[in-house]
Amino acid sequence: MTEPWMIAGAWLAAGLTIFLFSFLYRDNPFFKIAEHLYLGAGMGWWFQVYMFNIWKPKVWEPLMAHQWGVIIPAVLGLSLVTQFIPKISWLSRYGFTFLMGYGAGLAVPAGLSTDFMNQIAGTIRPFSALASMTPFAIFNSLLIALGVVCVLFYFFFSVEHKGSVKKVSNVGIYFLMVYFGAAFGNTVMARFSLLYGRFDDLASFSSRGSFYATQIILAVMVLYFLVTGFTKKPQQGEEEAH
């Protein structure tokens, strides 16, 4: 790809980015176009990845080499698509059950070992090394154990929660709240990082090398909103409607 193509790319990317952001001000046709392009482009990308990474090398080429074994999974796979044809949609069950049986069979023992046994072991193991632990570490290990039990109790539905039982489950809620708080704080950071990523790209498209793509497109969008803002009165409540 040559230099003019790269500049065109910068304009295109800056344009699409700003179109999507323009939704924050108000819904508009540019946003809608970009949004629909996104749906199609995502599918298109996936389609070509599947085509060149799996369908061609794993199905087509073996068939051409007369390795007939791949017919079975290919037919099972194609059976999934019959879902859209009501009359023979039951065929898709063959594919689905094949996928689900395998997935479920793998998940059961792995779930028991990873999320059940290992978690119990992780909670109690620190207590086998009590002698070498600082008081603070012992306190932390106890706190984890206590927290786990209380949280589990909060989610225990077989007894009525009242009296001292309720107190235990209340303690559990506070552990959950700390976890949710941590999740909230981290989510803020994650979302800002993504926005930073876009702004960083926009900043690079605003350079002279890209012929000020960002600035010009931004100016055009502002102009568009000014013009449409004057020509048609926004409906009541529309500003809330994003």
Smaller CB distance to other proteins: residue 227 or 234? 234
Smaller CB distance to other proteins: residue 40 or 135? 40
Q: What is the nearest approach in angstroms of other proteins to the Cβ of residue 139?
A: 9
Q: What is the nearest approach in angstroms of other proteins to the Cβ of residue 68?
A: 13
Smaller CB distance to other proteins: residue 121 or 223? 121
Q: What is the nearest approach in angstroms of other proteins to the Cβ of residue 57?
A: 6
Q: How far apart are the first and last CA of the chain?
A: 38
Rg (alpha carbons) of the chain, rounded to whole number: 28
Residue 87 sits at φ, ψ, to 5 deg, of -60, -40
Q: What is the nearest approach in angstroms of other proteins to the Cβ of residue 241?
A: 4
Nearest-angstrom CA–CA distance, 196 and 194: 5
Residue 151 sits at φ, ψ, to 5 deg, of -65, -45
Smaller CB distance to other proteins: residue 44 or 227? 44
Q: What is the nearest approach in angstroms of other proteins to the Cβ of residue 33?
A: 5
Smaller CB distance to other proteins: residue 115 or 230? 115
Q: What is the nearest approach in angstroms of other proteins to the Cβ of residue 42?
A: 6
Residue 104 class from Cβ within 10 Å (0-12 exposed, 13-18 middle, 19+ buried)? exposed
Q: What is the nearest approach in angstroms of other proteins to the Cβ of residue 30?
A: 11
Smaller CB distance to other proteins: residue 90 or 227? 90
Nearest-angstrom CA–CA distance, 140 and 221: 55
Give me the amino acid identity at 122: G
Smaller CB distance to other proteins: residue 112 or 223? 112
